[in-house]
Structure 1
Amino acid sequence: MLQDKRILLILTGGIAAYKGLDLIRRLRERGVAVTPVLTRAAEQFVTPLSVSALAGEKVYRDLFDLTEEAEMGHIQLSRSADLILVAPATADIIAKMAQGRADDLASTLLLATDTPVMIAPAMNVRMWDHPATQRNLAQIAGDGVAVVGPNDGDMACGEFGPGRMSEPLEIVAAVEAHFGPKPLAGKHVLVTSGPTHEPIDPVRYIANRSSGAQGTALARALIAAGARVTFVTGPADVAPPSGADVVAVQTAQQMHDAVHAALPADAAVFAAAVADWRVSSASDRKLKKSKDGLPVLEFAENPDILAGVAQMTDTRPALVVGFAAETDDVEAHATAKRARKGCDWIVANDVSPETGIMGGSENAVILITEDGAETWPRMSKQDVATRLAERIGNRLV
């Protein structure tokens, strides 16, 4: 959907500018023509040569370039693109946009355009939380500027919190959503993601190695396709997707309750790695070592969230999708799971340690449906999500 689109990419001065290089590459992979603009501050983090080499085009830097401005170059630049993308968007450029300032090439381009504008903010957490920044964001959002992110995460300054620029594939997904059809418009999709933590005592718990990356990527892709997404997540390693109704939980029982509270839905996708068992009587005090020997933990079975929803008779979603993380006989085990649970599809993958899939950025899945097994090539988790969201859209039409 991005083939032959032209994007004017403005890189401003923040450490996240280095992500702009990967963003250019990702856009070019999808057939986008990228015209780059660098602020003077951005040149402190990335070089014009590296940006130009990746974009395959000249880098624009100076408002008072006599050759360009003889033909009103800033006007032509601002109106020749299909989208103007500012990534990273610092607090300074956001303030300029809100105030209508035009004191350099980037801000002048943004003021002189009638082209759609999208920004990916990136700044220190306190700058992001500052009332002035929030006022400026509200102003430009009201002016029609689309905002992607930011995420929570570690900052280059050593602090943690919101302000970390969205990853390049997240921004690409937002760009695709801008240009693409909305096959899931008006549909409500429930997505579960991440691990669950089952307490042993106040400081210990049973968990698994799920990062939540695939479920989060899927929620982003569904939002991009126009869906209203309820995102029920355990304590994942990745930030929840922008634009979703996020419900944070810890345990399997809490996830079960949140899922049923979110119904009805047109589709439900259970990507969470829910613990099968919990400690039946978790201690309310920290367990101590004892000369009497090791503590005895008795387990109870957690509710089967996928089977419970798949086998509903009244508010069952039209499409119920489960996930199967396997280490051997992946297709056979996943096929049996689909029949046992009563769901429509199973997305299966091999999470053996040597695959690097659990906790990694790529996935290789087998989609099990009523028509049989379909093996997909290994690709990024965001690309898996985009492909699966497209299939869901086709099914719900």
Structure 2
Amino acid sequence: MFDDEAVLAIARKAESGKRLELEDAMTLAASASLATLGSLAHRVRMAKHPAMAVTYVVDRNVNSTNICECGCRFCAFFKAPGQAGGYVLSREELGRKIEETLALGGRQILLQGGHNPDMGLEYYEGLLTFVRETYPDIHVHGFSPPEIMYFSGLAGIHHSEVIRRLRAAGLASIPGGGAEILSDRVRKAVAPAKCLSAEWLDVMRQAHLQGLRTTATMMFGHVETWEERIGHLLALRELQDETRGFTAFIPWGFQPDNTALGGKKCSPQEYLRVLSISRLVLDNFQNLQASWVTMGREIAQASLWYGANDFGSTMIEENVVAAAGVRFRMDEPGVRQAIGAAGFTPRRRAMDYTIVEPL
């Protein structure tokens, strides 16, 4: 089953609960077969979650604006300020989207947008207050670290104060977007206008210290190396040791169509390798999400045997990945059927992984 003595030694280390280091993960990336990685990752997953259950959340991605100053080379969604096709979502449109979400059983929205110079901290404080007062049952999972750093720059205040004010206005948790790869070499190549790695990590640190739970992500398969991928995982693991504030990790492969960066799509094999190694390295993360939105139903089902224990969101609406030409869709019955067909029992959850249906 195992490829060689080095991989066998690392496998024994992982199975005994010992922490893998950079050299261990690099050896697995270079030498372990996909079957070996999947077997190891699934064993670790089952040790953390012995029940044959897979969770998911019913929510909607809401993009407040597609106008963005960043010009990230991997993004097919944004419009530059003044460019045709830019929009700002009105409160009436946001309200309609929330009402549709509630009608479908959702109690959460993921609220994100471009770095629009006309939409700063006070704008979003007002938007959060509107949601809190009009739709008190809605959990707002919003504003990735680059957005928070952007608001900080516009307002001239520290990002910890931005988080405090957004939380006071109604922000309930923070998504892990904008991490891409936590290597400044990579960030300068693909998103030079976004915050640096240390800033992304400190936004999450400050959020955790203020009592907000967050997720963490990695977008891979563009210009990064395997060592940079693993460095990303180790940076997340170190912060999780410090704060215990991350609820889940979500890796997904870069989608190159319609982007300035271009390149090849992430293969299913590469995606499953990254997912499996993530499960083995991130020993202090309870939950790993499959990415059916980027990889499709069948690969997401396979992911449940390669370390993932969560199927992510029903994605009532999704625009960013769709702009890159990837349009996989599933409603809640479809998600439940996909989980069941993969050999697991579906369980609906909240952002913090509280189960919101009977076991």
TM-score between the two structures when normalised by the length of structure 1: 0.30
Q: Of Structure 1 and Structure 2, which has the larger fraction of its residues in helix? A: 2
TM-score between the two structures when normalised by the length of structure 2: 0.33
Structure with larger RCO (C-alpha < 8 A, sep 6+): 2
Higher Cα Rg: structure 1 or 2? 1
Q: Of Structure 1 and Structure 2, which has the larger fraction of its residues in strand? A: 1
